[in-house]
Amino acid sequence: MHPTVAQRPSDLLIEKALPSSFAGTGLAEWLLERGVDTVAIAGYMTQNCDESTARDAVHRGFAVEFLSDATGTLKLANQTGSIEAKELHEAVLVVMQSRFAAVATTKEWIAAIDSGPELERSGIYASTTAARP
């Protein structure tokens, strides 16, 4: 952990071995004990830890808010092909908004917390319908 981050106070510090922050960590139980029903996703990498945590959160009954400008990734290449970081990041954001999360910028998220309105959530049907010609 970066020393600047390590010096900051925390309510809970978890160490994880898998992409999802929920897998094997006790995070879900800790949040539920405190009445938390919504999680905000910020971090690195968009398609790995961020996406895994968001999907896992939904499967555990949490609402998810995915911060588009507080998540990020790198270009990927392997035997299957390659994808630019921007394209990968945007693709994950579209998928998240289509079913798993309300996607917003940090500014939009703070405004929604401060005074509403609630962040817009889409659905798979609305997202596929909007994509049709």
What's the pLDDT at 35? 98
Mean pLDDT to the nearest integer, 4-27: 95
Which tokens hold the place of 10? 């925390």
Domain assignment present for 48: yes
Structural domain includes residue 54: yes
Residue 8 lies in a domain: no
Would the pLDDT of 116 be above 90? no
Residue 36's domain spans which residues?
A: 18-126
109 domain residue, yes or no: yes
pLDDT at 118: 87
What is the C-alpha to C-alpha distance for residues 105 and 7, in angstroms, rounded to an integer? 26
CATH number of the domain at 26, please: 3.40.50.850
Give the pLDDT band of residue 1 (cuts 50, 70, 90): confident
Number of Cα atoms under 13 Å in the Cβ half of residue 100: 21
Count structural domains, the chain: 1
